[in-house]
């Protein structure tokens, strides 16, 4: 089932949606990714009909449902707060949607047992919601949405209350259900790993505005602006001025240091631009890389050990601080003590031109 959000605007308090346009194809796993307060939940509630948009249309499988009541939209919904009925057992909560559809007792029992078993919740069927953990509560809410076999499901931070092992189990479950049933999913999260590991398409949202939409690979390799780059992990962001180019490259001056980038990605000479480089695309060594188009001398200023990854801070000669990401075993073997002189190098293709504008005057 396809879903089209066409020019939706909505204002409520300090949060607003601004000309939201999304196209979710039938059988697609679509993730809406963004920080807290970006308008993600408001958008789901607007699609569900819980909130009314100020303008724009919601179209489901070619039918305009903009004015259709929530209960008649035929959309499965797992809110961030699970909203289980406190006076009902887990089983009766999950059965609720089937019961109001007048499903036979035998079929209702079979479908409920099946979805609870898939989620590892069958042994908790007679428990009350108050006795469940946060992760169990969210799984019960997911079971309630999935048991009616909807053709499209909206998920609002469905994995946020779960431990890492359970989170991975649920990721696998959701992807499997999508593939088996051809169900369309619109999944809201602020977690980049969750988004990139699950989505066919991702839309990044900030301040109620869609900043970029594309496949995980497109967004990862070609962020359109500084917000997108920072949000998906580009830690080295610099403003510079393209100076000259040769051999298909353009040289960007960032305060005295020259970084070479693909010429086709930047504006012309004399403009200003913002560029980004991922920390894991930078190599570090004790000698300059004579074959690298980008090789800069610096001093190790510090490092942060983050489990399997170590982030090394290198202060280059012009004063700019550049982060380099290494595997922990490589860091240990390199002997990168504070104060050590090193060289960092990276490919021009690793340099992404994020935005550009006229140079300031005056």
Please list, in sequence order, all residues whose beta carbon lies within 8 angstroms of the beta carbon of residue 219, skipping any fewer than 6 positions away: 202, 204, 212, 228, 232
Q: Sheet holding 236-246: strands in order across?
A: 257-262, 249-254, 236-246, 272-277, 352-357
pLDDT of residue 244: 72
Q: Which residue has the tokens 């990605």?
A: 265
pLDDT of residue 266: 45
Go through the domains of the chain in sequence order and give each one's CATH number.
3-228 (3.40.50.300), 237-357 (2.40.50.100)
* pLDDT tens digits, 131-143: 998 889 989 999 9
Each residue's pLDDT tens digit, 208-230? 999 999 999 999 988 999 999 99
- pLDDT digit string (tens) for 168-191? 888 888 988 888 888 899 999 999
Mean pLDDT on 249-265: 86
pLDDT of residue 314: 97
Tell whether the model's pLDDT for residue 243 goes beyond 80: no
Tell me the pLDDT tens digit for each residue of 30-50: 999 999 999 999 999 999 999
pLDDT tens digits along 340-357: 999 999 999 999 988 643
Q: How confident is the model at residue 359 (pLDDT cuts 50, 70, 90)?
A: very low
pLDDT score for 358: 36
What would the mean pLDDT of 108-132 be, rounded to a whole number? 94
pLDDT digits (tens, 9 = 90+) for 291-340: 999 999 999 999 999 999 999 999 999 999 999 999 999 999 889 999 99
262 pLDDT band, cuts 50/70/90, is confident
pTM over 0.75, yes/no: yes
């Amino acid at each position: 089932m396809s879903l089209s959000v066409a020019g939706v605007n909505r204002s409520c308090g300090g949060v607003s949606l601004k000309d939201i346009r999304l196209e979710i194809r039938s059988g697609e796993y679509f993730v809406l990714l963004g920080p807290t307060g970006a308008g993600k939940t408001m958008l789901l509630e607007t699609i569900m009909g819980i909130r009314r948009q100020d303008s724009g249309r919601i179209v489901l499988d070619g039918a305009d449902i903009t004015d259709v009541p929530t209960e008649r939209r035929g959309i499965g919904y797992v809110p961030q707060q699970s909203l289980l009925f406190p006076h009902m057992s887990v089983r009766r909560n999950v059965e609720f949607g089937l019961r109001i559809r007048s499903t036979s007792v035998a079929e209702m029992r079979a479908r409920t047992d099946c979805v609870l078993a898939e989620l590892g919740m069958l042994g908790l069927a007679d428990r009350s919601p108050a006795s469940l953990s946060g992760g169990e509560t969210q799984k019960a809410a997911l079971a309630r949405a999935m048991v009616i076999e909807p053709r499209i499901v909206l998920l609002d931070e469905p994995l946020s209350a779960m431990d890492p092992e359970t989170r991975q189990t649920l990721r696998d479950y959701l992807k499997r259900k999508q593939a088996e049933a051809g169900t369309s999913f619109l999944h809201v999260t602020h977690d980049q790993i969750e988004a990139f590991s699950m989505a066919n398409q991702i839309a990044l949202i900030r301040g109620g505005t869609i900043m970029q939409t594309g496949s995980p690979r497109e967004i990862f390799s070609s962020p359109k602006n500084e917000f997108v780059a920072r949000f998906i992990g580009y830690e080295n962001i610099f403003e510079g001025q393209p100076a000259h180019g040769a051999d298909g490259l353009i040289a960007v001056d960032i305060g005295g240091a020259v970084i070479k980038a693909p010429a086709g990605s930047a504006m012309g000479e004399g403009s200003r631009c913002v560029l980004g480089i991922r920390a894991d695309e930078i190599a570090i060594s004790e000698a300059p890389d004579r074959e690298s188009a980008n090789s800069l001398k610096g001093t190790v200023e510090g490092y942060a050990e983050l489990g399997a990854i170590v982030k090394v801070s290198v202060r280059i000669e012009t004063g700019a601080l550049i982060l380099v990401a290494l595997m922990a075993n490589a860091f240990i073997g390199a002997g990168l003590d504070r104060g050590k002189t090193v060289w960092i190098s990276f490919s021009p293709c690793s340099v992404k031109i994020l935005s550009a504008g006229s140079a300031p005057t005056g």
